[in-house]
């Protein structure tokens, strides 16, 4: 397990069965808080743990600004929602690690 996954797992506050998870998604992370649907895989939790580490490394404002800018730039570039999301630098790192 990488340091980022371990750091995230050690520091995350996991809100399982959260009603805040939007339709079409299994979970999301804000700061050290991870919100998931019931019964999600350990692989998804590890993915979200990487985001906890990224938030800690960059701070919430920078993480959100970079995330949104990358997504919008990728949307213009690829004109495809899923490709735009998958190519956000923080998502690429999280998918590469987990």
> Which positions lie near Zn ion, rule CB under 5 A?
91, 94
In the complex, least distance from residue 77 CB atom to Zn ion, rounded to whole angstroms? 19
For Zn ion, the closer CB: 70 or 91: 91
In the complex, least distance from residue 10 CB atom to Zn ion, rounded to whole angstroms? 19
Record the tokens describing residue 52, joined without a space: 């906890």
In the complex, least distance from residue 39 CB atom to Zn ion, rounded to whole angstroms? 18
For Zn ion, the closer CB: 71 or 78: 71
Pairing relationship of beta strands 27-30 and 13-15 according to DSSP bridges: unpaired
Q: In what order do the strands lie in the sheet with 27-30?
A: 13-15, 33-36, 27-30
For Zn ion, the closer CB: 84 or 94: 94
Q: What is the DSSP string of 15-45?
A: ETT-TTSPTT-SEEEETTEEEE-TT--HHHH
């Amino acid at each position: 397990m990488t340091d980022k996954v371990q750091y995230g797992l050690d520091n995350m506050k996991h809100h399982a069965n959260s009603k805040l998870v939007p339709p079409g998604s299994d979970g999301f992370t804000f700061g050290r808080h991870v919100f998931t649907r019931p019964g999600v895989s350990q692989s998804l939790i590890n993915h979200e743990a990487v985001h906890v580490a990224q938030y800690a490394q960059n701070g919430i404002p920078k993480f959100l600004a970079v995330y949104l800018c990358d997504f919008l730039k990728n949307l213009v570039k690829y004109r495809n929602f899923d490709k735009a999301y998958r190519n956000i630098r923080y998502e690429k790192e999280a998918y590469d690690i987990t």
